[in-house]
Amino acid sequence: MFRALALRHCQLARSLATHAAPPTRSTSQATIRHDWKKEEIQAIYDTPLLELVFRSASVHRENNDPSKVQLCTLMNIKTGGCSEDCSYCSQSSRYATPTKASKLVDIEPVLEAARKAKENGSTRFCMGAAWRDLAGRKRGFEKILEMVSEVRGMGMEVCTTLGMLSPEQARRLKEAGLTAYNHNLDTSREFYPKVITTRSYDDRLDTITAVRDAGISVCSGGILGLGESHEDRVGLIHEVANMPEHPESFPVNALVPIPGTPLEGNDPVSVHILIRTIATARIAMPKTIIRLAAGRNTLNETEQAMCFMAGANAVFTGEQMLTTPCSPWDEDKAMMGRWGLDGMRSFEQVSVAKKEGARLEAEQSSKSSSPDFLTAPAS
């Protein structure tokens, strides 16, 4: 299987970030369901692993270009000092961890980081702030809106994760040019209270609803290795797969235990569980981008290839996650070249292009009518 994947594309170079028109490739093969029963998803999850990967790989190829991987870069724009008690997070003010609180960064360092990410092939730039919500942060929110607008002006997709949002805050982020908003459910509804007590499961779902209603793409996934059961992983997938719209992206994080947090002693999640979760999510949500997120740097190249085979089609790449290590661009470029994988263009995913349609058309029209465009020599 891997040999066939590696031969699919022989070029070693990967496309840099580009502003893409909506793709013309048909992705109409699958029936998108929002009425999954938990027992159905459990049966998929329990399938023998090789059979499960074969099935998920088939679904992936029917609905997505298996040679394309979305490249995302994440920047922590406000570190530590968070009032939440998420048991896995070193940014909580409740735990004594190496992470120190800092103020919201200035705009220029963010734009510099976004430019560097784009130069290295990333087409989505994500910004995270360690906040419970935006209450009482008017000046900070205005600064973030400017960051979103400026990064969007580079032709990149823009994602933020800022804690809970009100419908009005989501609307303003959309107006500024935000492509996606990350708000993970983390785990199943049943296991969630054992991980977090300061924010309810329904609080998270309310923010996701506000984001979706504002026309922003939803990015929502979970963390493996929290101490959850197989049934809890199924419960997470069941929750997101039955949303009115499947999330545009589903991040799969492997817990990176951080000293000082309540989960510092947890055992690493096995790669088999990671692959099984990715494969199950791919079958339940055929067109959703499934992102290998935190913990990917602990996987060897063959293990990552298995994840791509199972249906993963996005990664975080660059210098750093929020508080954990990230695989660097050069290593990822080399790996993708060996496996015949190319980076997605900005706004290449069909569901994102649909939500961004009017804005993309306006941006293209503005670009076409600019003096520089009209006087540029033909290539």
Catalytic annotation, residues: 82, 86, 89, 126, 159, 219, 291
The count of residues in the chain is: 379
The neighbour count for residue 305, using CB atoms within 10 Å, is: 20
CA distance 89 to 101: 13
The neighbour count for residue 332, using CB atoms within 10 Å, is: 25
Cα 246 to Cα 10, 353, 379, distances in angstroms: 33, 15, 41
Helices 38-45, 49-63: crossing angle, 10 deg rounding: 110
The answer to the question of whether 86 is labelled as a binding residue is yes
CA distance 334 to 375: 38
User: Backbone phi, then psi, for 81, in 5-degree steps?
Assistant: 75, 15
The neighbour count for residue 133, using CB atoms within 10 Å, is: 17
The answer to the question of whether 326 is labelled as a binding residue is no
The answer to the question of whether 82 is labelled as a binding residue is yes
The answer to the question of whether 10 is labelled as a binding residue is no
* Straight-line distance from the first to the last Cα atom of the chain, in angstroms, rounded to the nearest whole number: 40
The answer to the question of whether 291 is labelled as a binding residue is yes
Q: Which DSSP string do the residues of 54-69 spell out, in sequence order?
A: HHHHHHHHHHS-TTEE
Q: How many helices (H) and strands (E) does the chain have?
A: 14, 10
CA distance 309 to 53: 7
Tell me the one-letter amino acid at 4: A
255 Rama class: left (phi>0) / alpha (psi -120 to 50) / beta = beta
The answer to the question of whether 159 is labelled as a binding residue is yes
The answer to the question of whether 219 is labelled as a binding residue is yes
Tell me whether residue 25 is exposed, middle or buried, using C-beta atoms within 10 angstroms of its C-beta: 0 to 12, 13 to 18, 19 or more.
exposed
CA nearest 126: which of 88, 100, 159? 159
Residue 219, SS3?
Answer: strand
Helices 301-310, 49-63: crossing angle, 10 deg rounding: 60
Binding region for [4Fe-4S] cluster: 82, 86, 89
Q: Tell me the binding residues.
A: 82, 86, 89, 126, 159, 219, 291
Residues at the binding site for [2Fe-2S] cluster are: 126, 159, 219, 291
